[in-house]
Structure 1
Amino acid sequence: MPSYSPDSLRRWPDVESAELFAIDAADRLLLDESAAARAEAPAGSLVVIGDAYGALTLGAADAGATDIRVHQDLVTGERALEANAERAGLTGAFRSLALAPELITGARVVLLRLPRALDELADIAALIAAHAGPDVVVFAGGRIKHMTVAMNEVLRRSFGSVDVTHARQKSRVLIARGPLAARDPEPRARPQAVPGLEDPITVCAFGGAFAGTSIDIGTRFLLEQLGAPDPDAEGDVIDFGCGTGVVATWLALRHPALSVLATDQSSIAVASARATSEANGVAGRVAVVRDLGLRSRPDASASFIALNPPFHTGAAVADGVAEPMFAEAGRALASGGELWTVWNSPLQYRAALERLVGRTRQVARNAKFTVTVSTRA
C-alpha cells in the first residue's frame, strides 16, 4: 500500500529542477504549529488555502484529517496535489473548491500560506471572517524574507487577535483568532488609458492579480504594436495568460464584431478578467476560462494568439517557464495563424519561438521589451 513522505512530493506539472522544491520549512512549521488544533477539529472543518503542491493538505491528511477543503489559485497546484495524493494513497482525503463561501463555511481551522500581495491577503482574510465559525483559528505562515509587519495589520482588520510564533528555519507563522464582521471581497477597479482606444478601459482586479488595476509596461508595449486578427480566418482569437483581461477586452472593444477567448491558470486572474470584461460591456464577446496552458483547446483551432509570458514560477525566477507556453500556442495555432508575443529582450526568446511555433519576425523593440509575431507553417 502506498505511504506518504513529504520528501517524495513533486512539483509536476509545474517547472521542476534540482533547485526548486515542492515543500519548504514554512510548510513544515505550519503543520507543526497547527497540529494540536487540527487534532481537535471535527471532520470537514479543516480548510487549506495556498498550498503550493500539496504539502499542507497531504501532511494533514496523513495525520488523520478527512474531507479537507482546499483552494489553490493555480491549476498547476491542483494537478500537483492530485498527482502527489495518488502516489501516497490519499486521493479521497480532500476536495478542491473555489475561493468562495462554500470553501470557508463552518471552518474551525484554516492553514494559509501567506500570499505576497497584501490585497490578496486582505481578500482571503475577509472571506474567512465572513463565513468561518466564530471559533476559527487561522495559521498563516511563510518564509520570513517574504513576510512584512503589514501582514499582521491586514489580518487585524478581520480578526480580533493576531499572535506571532517564534521563527524556525527562516519561517514564521501568524495565528489569527476572533473573526470580525466582514463582507465578501469585491474586485478593485480603475480606469486606464490604453493605446488605440479613445476611451479608457476599466481594469478590475481581485487581490493578487498581476499588476492589479494597473497595466504593466510589457502589455502596454504589446498593445501599441498588436495587429488586427484576420476577420476571415477561422479559429479562436485568444488572450493567452490573460491576467486581468486587458488584452482580451482591448481586442473586443477595438474590433466590435470579434469574440475573444481569455485563458489563465490562475483563479484570481480568471475572476479579474471576467470582471474587467463586464465593466467594459464586452462580457458577451469575451469568454474567460481557467486552463493549464491551452489544454482545453484542440490542435490547430486558433487563428490569433496574444501572449505576455511570465518569467518566474511563484517567487522563484526559473528558466523554462515561457517555452511550454510557446509550445502550447504552436500546437493550438492553425496553419497561417499568428502568435504575438512581448518579452523582456535579454531573454532572447526568438530562437525558441522559431522552433516551437514558426517563422518569427521582430515587430518592435524598445529599451526593455521586444514584440514579435510568429506564424504557424
Structure 2
Amino acid sequence: MSEFPYERLRRFPDVEAPELQAHDATDLLLVERCLAHVADHDLTGSDIAVIGDGYGAITLALVDAGLRGIRLHQDLATGRRALVRNAEELGMLRTLDADGASAGVGPGLTASSAGDGAPFVPHELDAALLTGVRLVLLQLPKALAELAEIADAVARWAADDVVLIAGGRVKHMTLAQNEILARSFARVQPQRAERKSRLIVAEDPRDVPEAPPFPVRETHPEFGVTLAAHGGAFAGARIDVGTRVLLDVLTDRRSQLLMDGPGDAREGADSADCGRSDGQICGVVNEIVIDLGCGTGVLAAVYALTHPDARVIATDRSAAAVASARATMAANGVADRVQVTHDDAGSDLPDASADVVLLNPPFHLGTSVHTAAATRLFDAAARLLRSGGELWTVYNSSLAYKGELTRRVGRTEQVHRTPKFTVTRSIRSER
C-alpha cells in the first residue's frame, strides 16, 4: 500500500489559510491504529464508523487502504462538501464495482443514494450510523456535551464488543473527556502521546438510559421561548451573551427592526405599512427573514413568535445545530412556519431573497481564532439581502467589524454597545 497523499487534501469550501490544515497528526494516528485493529479482528469497512472527520483525512485514507462501505458522520456541511471534493480529486468516487457499474457518487451523497459499492456512506448521528458497528474512530470534539452525546450513541447502538478509539491534540485534551467516556464505557484507557496527539481507547459499553439524553431543553421566560440543544450546539440550551444582547435590542425596539421612530420605514418599503398597532415589523408584509448561523434557533424562534406574518428561515452549517433548531421550533409551536436548513452560509438560498438577516457570527474555526469565519457570513448576508434589506449583527466589541460590514454589505450604524458586545444595523447597498 502506497503512502496516502494527505498533503493533497483541501478544506475548500471551508476557510483556507496557511495556518489552517486539512489534516493533523491525530488523523494519522487514528488511521494507523484502525488498520492494525482491522488486521487483528478481521473487520470490513461496514464494521467501522468514523465520526468527526474534518475534511476526509481519516475516511479517505482508509478507503485508500482498501476498505469499503465505511460509515461516516460529519457535523459541518463544509466538511461534508470538502470530503466529497477531496474524494473526487483522488479518484475515489469514479471507481467501478465488480459488475462494471459505477460506484461513484457526487456532492449530494446520502446514505440512501450511496449504494452497496460506495467507498463511504454518510449518516447523521443515529442508529443507522452505529448499529452493528465494531470499531468507531472519533476526532474528539471541543464540547464535552457533544462527546457525551456521541459516547451515549455508540454505547446505545453499536455492537456489544465495539471499541471506540478517540483522538485529539494533547494541548486540547482534558481529564474531563476521560470522565465523560467512562460514563458510557467500563474501560477507558488513555494511550501514550505521539506527535503531540493522544488516543483514548474505550471498551465494554455500559447500559444506557431508555431515552437518549439529548436534546436537552430549557425555557427562557424573559423571551417567551424554549430552547432545545443537542450536544454539539453552541451554548447548549442557554442563550449566549451575544445573542441575548441582540435579543434585548430587538425587544427594546418592539421587535420592529426599525430606525428610531415609528415613522421610519425600512429603506424601499411602503410607508403606508408602517406603525402597525399589532407590533409587526414596519414596511414589509410577509417579509422573509433569515437567521444565518442559527445555532439552536433562538433568534428564528423569537422572531417567528413575535412576527407571525413573517416567513423565517434558520440555517447553519452544523448538523447538531440544525437538529437543535428543528427541535426548538417544535417546542415553540412554530415548526410549520420556520424552515431549518443544513447549509454552508446559506449557499442553497437564492440571491436577493431576504428582507432581514439576523447574525451572531462565530470568531473561531474549530480551535483556531480566525475572523474569516465572520467575513464569509457577511458576504453571504450581502448576497442574500435585497437592496435596502437589513442585516442585524452582534459581535465582540474588540473585533470592530463596523468598517468591514460597511464595505461588504452597505451603510452600517452602531445601534448598541456594551463593554463586550456591539450590535449594528447594515443596509444592503443598491445592487
When normalised by structure 1's length, the TM-score is: 0.94
How much does 1:42 deviate?
A: 2.1
- Number of aligned residue pairs: give it: 372
Match of 1:331 among 383, 399, 416: 383
CA contact (8 A) 2:289 2:357 kept: yes
Unmatched segments (≥5 aa) in structure 2: 94-117, 257-280
Q: What SS does the aligned partner of 1:343 have?
A: strand
The 2-side partners of 1:285 and 1:73 are apart by: 25
**Deviation readout 1:281-317 (Å, 9 max, x if unpaired):** 2222222111111111111111111000011111100
Considering only CA atoms, is the larger Rg found in Structure 1 or Structure 2? 2
> What does 1:170-319 correspond to in 2, within 5 Å?
170-182=196-208, 183-194=211-222, 197=223, 200-226=224-250, 227-228=255-256, 229-230=281-282, 232-233=284-285, 235-319=287-371
Cα-Cα RMSD: 1.7
Q: State the partner residue of 1:345.
A: 397
Q: What SS does the aligned partner of 1:166 have?
A: coil
Q: What SS does the aligned partner of 2:145 have?
A: helix
**Structure 1 letter corresponding to 2:54:** A
> What does 1:93-242 correspond to in 2, within 5 Å?
93-182=119-208, 183-194=211-222, 197=223, 200-226=224-250, 227-228=255-256, 229-230=281-282, 232-233=284-285, 235-242=287-294
CA contact (8 A) 1:233 1:303 kept: no
Percent of pairs with identical residues: 51
Unmatched segments (≥5 aa) in structure 1: none
Tell which deviates more after alignment, 147-156 or 110-119.
Answer: 147-156
Q: What SS does the aligned partner of 1:23 have?
A: coil
Tell which deviates more after alignment, 301-310 or 32-41.
Answer: 32-41
**Structure 1 letter corresponding to 2:238:** S
**Structure 2 letter corresponding to 1:190:** E
Q: State the partner residue of 1:22.
A: 22
The 2-side partners of 1:256 and 1:300 are apart by: 22
Q: Does 1:11 align with 2:11?
A: yes
CA contact (8 A) 2:288 2:310 kept: no
Q: State the partner residue of 1:45.
A: 47
The 2-side partners of 1:130 and 1:234 are apart by: 44
CA contact (8 A) 2:351 2:385 kept: yes
Q: State the partner residue of 1:68.
A: 70
The 1-side partners of 2:133 and 2:178 are apart by: 21
Q: State the partner residue of 1:54.
A: 56
Q: What SS does the aligned partner of 2:372 have?
A: coil
How much does 1:66 deviate?
A: 0.5
Q: What SS does the aligned partner of 2:17 have?
A: coil
CA contact (8 A) 1:208 1:268 kept: yes
How much does 1:257 deviate?
A: 2.8
CA contact (8 A) 2:394 2:422 kept: yes
The 2-side partners of 1:248 and 1:169 are apart by: 43
The 2-side partners of 1:367 and 1:38 are apart by: 54
**Structure 1 letter corresponding to 2:15:** V
**Structure 1 letter corresponding to 2:196:** K
How much does 1:249 deviate?
A: 0.8
**Deviation readout 1:75-132 (Å, 9 max, x if unpaired):** 0110111111111122341122111111111111111011121111111111111111
When normalised by structure 2's length, the TM-score is: 0.83
Q: What SS does the aligned partner of 1:174 have?
A: strand
